[in-house]
Amino acid sequence: MNRLFCFFWAIWWGIACFTDVSGGLKKLNLIDYKWAFADNFDFLVSCLSIYSPPLSFVVFLFVGIILWCGLSSALFIRASYQILKKQDYAQALTLAYQVSLALWLVFFLADQLVMKFDLEENHMVQGGFEFLGFIAFTITSQMKHTRDDLLGKTLS
């Protein structure tokens, strides 16, 4: 199950990053594809409008979100690669979960700041699903270490 979640989040965060990058490029009129969504940037502008921030600040946040999504995807891809190579992936997967779950926490706080509670509910469901995967990974990893410790003691 851990492997499946790892592959899933590598793909999910990659898609999230790709759609925001393509949306940003479309917003800049650098691409003109119908499948490229520009909604997330416009939505961010709309959410933050209650504070009237400068456009440069909104762009900074949007680029930050893209980079964080990209980093999350890259870390899950790295853990997936270690899984496929039959290497110990626990440390890589833990880091991937920590980085991506931190982004969900930032989203939760941001949702509160802009009072978008329907968006917060969506983020809570998605982030909660990822957190459940992290909990399952942590528990099964601990069980494996306990089992290995017990086997090592009985064999010696």
Average pLDDT, rounded, for the chain: 89
What count of other Cβ atoms lies within 10 Å of the Cβ of residue 130?
21
Q: What is the pLDDT of residues 72-93, one digit of tens each?
A: 999 999 999 999 999 999 999 9
- Backbone φ and ψ of 32, nearest 5°: -135, 55
Tell me the average pLDDT across 27-56: 87
- Can you give the pTM of this predicted structure? 0.85
The first and second tokens of residue 56, run together, are 């440069």
Q: Where in the chain are the domains?
A: 2-155
Q: Please report where in the chains the tokens 């870390």 appear, as a residue.
A: 75
What count of other Cβ atoms lies within 10 Å of the Cβ of residue 96?
27
Q: Any residues with CB less than 8 A from the CB of 124 and at least 6 apart, and which?
A: 108
CA 112/CA 26 separation, integer angstroms: 29
Cβ pair 17, 145 in contact under 8 A? no
Cβ pair 41, 97 in contact under 8 A? no
CA 154/CA 139 separation, integer angstroms: 22
Helix (H) or strand (E) holding 99: helix 90-114
What's the pLDDT band for 150 if we cut at 50, 70, 90?
low
The first and second tokens of residue 133, run together, are 């995967």
CA-CA-CA-CA dihedral for 151, 97, 106, 108, to nearest 10: -70
Q: What is the pLDDT of residues 101-136, one digit of tens each?
A: 999 999 999 999 998 877 778 888 999 999 999 999
Q: Please report where in the chains the tokens 């393509």 appear, as a residue.
A: 22
